[in-house]
Structure 1
Amino acid sequence: MPSSLSGHHVGLTVSDLETTVAFYRDVLGLEVLDRFEVSGQAFETVTELEGSSGRFVHLDAGDVRLELVEYEPAGAALEDSDLNQPGAAHVGLAVDDLESVYAGLPEDVETLSDPQTTASGTTLCFLRDPEGNLVELLEA
């Protein structure tokens, strides 16, 4: 693998950009770094989506950016996936005090369980963002 590779971003496609940005910013505390729109022939070519455009927001997730993108036209929504399904994805975010973060979650945030400490010594829980994407919160 080339030595010039480094992490830049993890991307999630969403249907409601502003609601999803508000969740990651206001509920999880990620800072908005950038907002931009992309369209045109080069974008259509690299995405293989004729007539497409995208609205993007980059959020600061520490060593990597979380990229949220809303495409026009929108594709069909994927069904929620279980963690053990091939192709399933999740965003992992480290926190200093998981119990406090968990206790401060709004009641309407869907969680898979309360925080659990695994055999590896990591305390974690999973929740879903407003789009149904899985988010792992962990305290090492």
Structure 2
Amino acid sequence: MARLHHMGITVSDMASAVEFYRELTGGEVIGPLEKSGPAVEAATGYPGIVITLSFVSFDEGSTVIELAEYRNGSGERIQPDTGRAGVAHPAIVVDDIDATLARLAERGVRALSQPMTATAGPLEGYRYVYVLGPDDVRVELLQEPHRPTVVHPPSTATH
């Protein structure tokens, strides 16, 4: 059985990225931690690299976003447009998409559209919208569809 352990996002400003994802998820922040040395160089393929890592853990610890700031990396920025091959985005489930958008708007974060509702596929019934996070990373916000509560009649079996 496989499961996603975490999603890593390379950032240019650790403090603003940590604040954004902590505010969005209500998660616990672990870090920052500085990593360097032969093992980090071997794992990343970058000789002499120094990385600052922070982790935002939420959903009772089952979901983690790893934020990595490569302090002496190339400094080149990708174009994080989701229409480009190889670009990824986190999709975060929130309780109330409208309240979340209002809270983010107070911080200057803008949505790319009005929230929409998926009409087919595995997200059918979910409300969704993309916002631009730090470094213009697109972050998808999802609100689960309201499902009626199933009421089971009392059992009439005897024991």
TM-score over 0.5 for the pair: yes
**1:30 counterpart residue number:** 27
Q: Is the Cα contact below 8 Å between 1:102 and 1:115 reproduced in 2?
A: no
- Secondary structure at the counterpart of residue 105 of structure 2: coil
- 1:21-100 → structure 2 map (5 Å cutoff): 21-62=18-59, 63-75=62-74, 76-81=76-81, 83-100=82-99
TM, length-normalised to structure 2: 0.78
Measured on the aligned residues, the alpha-carbon RMSD in Å equals: 1.7
Unaligned runs of 5+ in 1: none
Give me the whole-angstrom Cα distance separating, in 2, the residues matched to 1:100 and 1:12. Answer: 25
TM, length-normalised to structure 1: 0.87
- Identity of aligned pairs, percent? 33
Unaligned runs of 5+ in 2: 145-159
1:104 Cα deviation after fit: 2.1
Normalized per residue, the structure richer in helix is 2
Give me the whole-angstrom Cα distance separating, in 2, the residues matched to 1:60 and 1:114. Answer: 28
Q: How many residues align?
A: 136
Give me the whole-angstrom Cα distance separating, in 2, the residues matched to 1:95 and 1:21. Answer: 18
Normalized per residue, the structure richer in strand is 1
**1:125 counterpart residue number:** 129
Report the residue type matching 1:113 in the other structure: S
Give me the whole-angstrom Cα distance separating, in 2, the residues matched to 1:80 and 1:57. Answer: 20
Structure with higher RCO (Cα < 8 A, 6+ apart): 1
Give me the whole-angstrom Cα distance separating, in 1, the residues matched to 2:24 and 2:109. Answer: 9
Of structures 1 and 2, the larger Rg is shown by 2
Deviates most, 36-45 or 104-113:
104-113
